[in-house]
A = this chain, B = another copy of it.
């Protein structure tokens, strides 16, 4: 097999990662994609007994996959809470796949076990913790799930054997917290009603007075608070919950304080931004995704617990075919400290990326993103065609494009909101057709859909902001005219 021919288009893609050309996405439907692959002689469908395709067709197929996929490496891809994957991390994924092993035991993953320990140790040190345990998990949702499970077992260790006792235990998160908290309480058998959503300020930050009141209300109802999720970097507005005030409340009421820093914990790498995370030194656990701000590719999610000794009793099953205590270096096996059995060696790419960029490189990446967001927000504030939907935070800028009839934006009424709300999907569709930039939209706090720019890619420039806003204006006029 000609491996070079298969790998060449991937290397070409990485080499031209920063190019503004070709397009990001072409919004093709399923049929168009199916037709294109069929025309190559390699249909997307898998028929019964289908024989192998010839090796030359495989190389062409890889080129087609690249051409027809969304170019998240593009400097104008603002659509998700990740962007601009670092080629070093991509190579790290390649290396990990080639060495195909699992993190469960030191025996099968000696170097990666040591790397995971080093990465977690430095992350914990950045959080200001003097003792910790942790592991890489398949995403921030699992970090949040595990945190809830540890918190539940702390207040009810018998749940491990007996199951949930039906007590009305309740957890708190903000109205802007990640939806995995809601999914987690359902999966854990606590039930959706066990999650109480606390009001936020206009930047998507949990209000400590609202949390205090919510805790008091819960206690008055006879419920038993056990957990607070503080979000560091909310998905939509980039808000950082006020950790010191939340830690005070958690301490007063004996609650487990988890910080979902999946998006925002990387602020700790930047001396200029680390203040956003002040208070994390008092958290009981922390979710920290290196695949969001740092470009470490999907997935690279660290879950950290302050102190030691909580993970093993929560997750151990002690499979004797895997975790033989009489094996050399068995004390380094991580498998019995996690829910899953085989784990990908995500720590490898984290370690490699860290060595390649250094902490100053990580800090520069963060600072560049925050500076771009600030510059974009200022630019929007001074342009009558746009209106900020919330004060800018972190790397998130949320705003509306205003149709000419709504400039300047009058007092918001149901009619005005309806116009803005309905425009967003049509503008987005027009942008996807052009394929020159990609950003998301969503409602915020019951208001109309607004657009969201997320600054993460270090290759993005102020010129990209200009180009994207002009494109948005052109698509807005197009959608506005079509809808009139």
Contact = CB atoms under 8 A, between A and B. Distances in A.
B33 A114 contact: yes
A46 B149 CA distance: 30
A188 to B, nearest CB: 5
A10 B149 contact: no
B140 A88 contact: no
A340 B141 contact: yes
B94 A179 contact: no
Contact of A166 (B165, B187, B291): B165
Contacts of A194: 163
A275 interface: no
Contacts of A88: 1, 6, 58
Interface residues of A, number: 151
B48 A161 contact: no
A332 interface: yes
Contacts of A145: 187, 339
A38 to B, nearest CB: 12
B329 A30 contact: yes
A89 B11 CA distance: 17
Contact of A100 (B72, B101, B110, B161): B72
A193 B164 CA distance: 12
B61 A352 contact: yes
A276 interface: no
Interface string A59-70: 001100110111
Contacts of A342: 82, 139-140, 291, 298-299
Contact of A163 (B7, B190, B324, B351): B190
A435 B70 CA distance: 44
A111 B30 CA distance: 8
A58 B356 contact: yes
Interface string A304-322: 0000000000110111111
A483 interface: no
A111 B32 CA distance: 10
A390 interface: no
Contact of A332 (B30, B47, B94, B180): B30
Interface stretch (A250-258, A439-447, A468-476): A439-447
Interface in A309-354: 314-315, 317-322, 324, 326-329, 332, 339-345, 348, 351-352, 354
Contact of A355 (B53, B94, B99, B101): B53
Interface in A112-148: 112, 114-115, 118-119, 121-122, 125, 138-142, 145
B297 A97 contact: yes
A440 B356 contact: no
B357 A52 contact: yes
Residue from the set A33, A52, A425 with the largest chain B CB neighbour count within 10 Å: A52
A183 interface: yes
B95 A10 contact: yes
A14 interface: yes
Contacts of A298: 97, 100-102, 342-345
Residue from the set A69, A165, A236, A358 with the largest chain B CB neighbour count within 10 Å: A69
A48 to B, nearest CB: 7
A32 B42 CA distance: 48
A44 B183 contact: no
Contact of A85 (B100, B188, B425): B100
Interface string A173-203: 0000011101101111111111000000000
Contacts of A87: 1, 3
A359 B49 contact: yes
A428 interface: yes
B95 A329 contact: no
B299 A183 contact: no
Given A138-B344, A139-B340, 16 more contacts: A7-B94, A29-B329, A42-B355, A44-B114, A46-B121, A49-B359, A53-B355, A70-B99, A140-B341, A140-B342, A152-B189, A187-B187, A236-B321, A298-B345, A324-B425, A327-B425
23 contacts: A10-B91, A13-B98, A30-B332, A44-B114, A58-B356, A69-B101, A72-B101, A79-B108, A80-B101, A80-B102, A90-B97, A90-B98, A138-B138, A138-B139, A138-B299, A139-B342, A141-B340, A163-B189, A179-B319, A187-B187, A235-B321, A322-B442, A324-B449
